[in-house]
Amino acid sequence: MKRLEADQVDAVLRRGATARRSDGQPPRFARGDRVRVLNLHPYGHTRMPRYVRGRCGVVDRDHGLFVLPDSNAHGLGECPQHVYSVRFTGVELWGPEAPDADRVHVDLWDCYLTAEPDGTEE
């Protein structure tokens, strides 16, 4: 993809643009898979919230392939990856004082995640 020049911005904003890319790469995770968010601290742009790093959750859905903002923002290419909605319990994120019923869904790119050894949700 070529660089967007300043005089092209208005036209792109008027017609809209999407970060979704065509499928061609199979998803690594499926609904119900237990995953852990990597505990990374990259320099520069990332869409990986600190409060989920190192935490375990369950894949709720696969949104499809999207441009990875981390690489694209640094001019390293689009690097399209699957984006998953991962469900976390409040207890997992904030400890035993959090209400048992609390759930938080966070959209996370594939490269942020690793499979948990116990596999899928029961």
Cα–chain center distance at 119: 19
Q: Does 113 score more than 70 pLDDT?
A: yes
Three-state SS at 8? helix
- The residue assigned the tokens 């990597």 is 38
How distant is the alpha carbon of residue 93 from its chain centre? Answer: 17
CA nearest neighbour of 67 among 52, 78, 55: 78
69's torsion region: left (phi>0), alpha (psi -120 to 50) or beta?
Answer: alpha
Q: What is the pLDDT of residue 122?
A: 43
Q: How confident is the model at residue 5 (pLDDT cuts 50, 70, 90)?
A: confident
Tens digits of per-residue pLDDT, 15-61? Answer: 877 888 987 789 999 999 999 999 999 887 789 999 999 999 999 99
- pTM of the full predicted structure? 0.83
Sign of the alpha-carbon torsion through 99, 102, 108, 112: positive
> All domains of the chain, ordered by start, with CATH?
19-120 (2.30.30.50)
Give tens-digit pLDDT for 77-105: 889 999 999 999 999 999 999 999 999 99
pLDDT for position 74: 80
Number of Cβ within 10 Å of residue 77's Cβ equals 11
